[in-house]
Amino acid sequence: MANLKEVKQRITSVVSTQQITKAMKMVAAAKLRRAQDKIVQMRPYSQKLTNILNNVSAAAEGAEDLIYAQKREVTKVLIVPITSDKGLCGAFNSNVIKAANLAINEQFAGKQIFILPLGKKAYENFKKSDFALIDQFYQVFSDVAFDNVKSAAEFAMNGFVAGDYDQVVMVYNEFKNVATQIIRTEQFLPMAKEDVTAEVSTSETEYLLEPSRTYILEELVPTALKIQFYKAVLDSNASEHGARMTAMDKATENAGELLKELRLMYNRTRQAAITNEILEIVAGANALGGK
């Protein structure tokens, strides 16, 4: 059985750790509130813009010639894994890295792979790999603003147009709620031509386009793609804080359970030590009395 000093040191250590995890949980909760507001406000705008784009492009003559929708033989793939800059958020980062590696090994086996990491954890992981690494944008989470994210989106879009990449795929955590994040492996380019539902079909939705449909598509498509890219970053940012809040809450609970066990051990050890001292005193008194 451990001595009292060792047990007391462990109790002090666990109490200190519990205070840290509790503080980190509170910080994550405050950051989550702001990040959640951003993604909740962004989603309706992004979805509506995407619906309009689908309607207009589906009705456009020569829509199949849209430069960002051109499909070609896939030999070069750009993977965009989106992680956090910091750890202590459970399986948040490892899930993205596993999903990216799964796509590389199964979906894109035999292809030339390029990695555009967003977040230090993705950068640190893939810089050890043999894949071509683009390291200009991995610090994007130091300031999650549209102008900063737009640069990374433009890099991927320009690379696709120039033929440097035949396909661009994003891997990120989609925010559902504080306790749930959904891993998404989503094709960014070429644009997926989704079927237009009956509710928003081109036959029921008419647009008056000025100055021309071609001009609108040339202006609208890049904007919609950048917003889609930005939405994925906001989803990941909110998911990170939710995952960290959940992880720190669980760590605080585990520390509490460990404290109960250590305090029980401390009391039992202390009681055993006192009992031994009493027994020694009694034995000594009996020995003296026997003389």
Catalytic residues: 89
117 preceded by cis ω (within 30°)?
Answer: no
Return d(Cα 198, Cα 129) in angstroms, integer.
46
Return d(Cα 173, Cα 208) in angstroms, integer.
37
Residue tagged 């994040």 (tokens)? 181
Task: Report whether 115 contacts 131 (CB < 8 A).
Answer: yes
Cβ partners under 8 Å of residue 276, min gap 6: none
Task: Report whether 120 contacts 138 (CB < 8 A).
Answer: yes
> Running DSSP on this structure, what letter comes out for residue 118?
B
Task: Report whether 202 contacts 196 (CB < 8 A).
Answer: yes
Return d(Cα 165, Cα 31) in angstroms, integer.
35
Return d(Cα 43, Cα 61) in angstroms, integer.
29
17: closest CA among 252, 199, 285, 282?
A: 252
Structure tokens at 232: 């994925």
Return d(Cα 119, Cα 101) in angstroms, integer.
16
Return d(Cα 84, Cα 245) in angstroms, integer.
14
Alpha helices in the chain (DSSP H): 4-59, 92-102, 120-126, 146-162, 213-290
> Running DSSP on this structure, what letter comes out for residue 64?
G
Residue tagged 């702001």 (tokens)? 34
